[in-house]
A = this chain, B = another copy of it.
Amino acid sequence: MRIVFIGDVMGPIGQEMLTDYLPKIKAKFRPQLTIVNGENIANGKGITRALYKLILTSGADVVTMGNHTFDKDELYDFIDDANKLIRPANYPANYTPGKGFVLIKVNQITVGVINLQGRVFLDAIDDPFAKFEEIYAEIKDQCQYIFVDFHAETTSEKLGFAWSVDGRVSAVVGTHTHVQTNDARILPAGTAYLTDAGMTGPYNEILGMTKGKVIERFHTHRPVRFETPAQGPGQINGCVIDFSEQTNQAKHIELIHISPDHPFID
């Protein structure tokens, strides 16, 4: 089993990088399952139906989200039909449309994909540690593999989660900071881990937003409208993970980073 994961796609440049490179990445790595975080694909804030479809036609099997899930009201129109889209599972159960995990059949094998969101320096939604246990109890006997996109700000919450589930989950990959970390590893009990996959979007901006605006806010501390630029060089970030068919444990995790400084190599 091989899974490719691509981090937060940001605005028009992110869309372009995804449609250009995801097919090439898939041709190179030939994953059985491809997962893309789409929380920022619509100008940095949320997702539309057309962009959800764009991610799927680019080659994704599952779309994960994060704290920007509901930024575009349009999502309410199609989230119930969006079978391949999951939003953080620990949004309040009684109030939140959509679902927090999905089981995907790959040949004879079932992979559970879970989306969770951290709470440190983010909104106080439900406990991601507790919500995981709930979902895990429900799906563990139905899945050979479980992949978690843990969307969070701090390294400690992501690492805390990963060490809590080591050996029970196939892989924990973090998202949200938009910068790829260099700590990909296999934890002792067999869980693949990466603190942050990084983002897919502009290479010469900040978070994927026009850098002049971000810097203006740091200088002035006044309201500034952030924008996702439509021009300029792009990057695509993610990882590819291999799992043993015998033990279902992770065998190998490798970073994907393509940018002007690191061109794609076949």
Which A residues contact B (CB, under 8 angstroms)? 69-71, 91-92, 94-96, 119-121, 123-127, 129-130, 153-157, 159-161, 163-164, 177-183, 185, 188, 195-196, 198, 204, 206-207, 211, 214-215, 218-223, 255, 257, 261
Contacts and interface: CB of A to CB of B under 8 A. Distances in A.
Nearest to A130: B92
Contact of A219 (B129, B206, B219, B261): B129
Nearest to A69: B222
Given A160-B215, A207-B159, A221 B181 contact: no
Given A91-B221, A163-B206, A215-B163, A182 B181 contact: yes
B95 A156 contact: no
B179 A221 contact: no
Nearest to A87: B222
Given A124-B119, A198-B182, A160 B91 contact: no
Contacts of A195: 179
Which DSSP category, helix, strand, loop or mixed, fits chain A's interface?
A: loop
Copies of this chain assembled into the complex:
4
A92 B221 contact: yes
A159 B219 contact: no
Contacts of A159: 179, 206-207, 211, 214
Given A123-B221, A221-B124, A214 B179 contact: no
A116 to B, nearest CB: 12
A183 to B, nearest CB: 5
Nearest to A188: B204
A234 to B, nearest CB: 14
Contact of A95 (B123, B181, B219): B219
Nearest to A257: B182
A206 B178 CA distance: 21
Q: In the A-B complex, list the 4 residue pairs whose CB atoms are closest, starting with the nearest.
A: A119-B124, A182-B182, A124-B124, A155-B179
A93 to B, nearest CB: 9
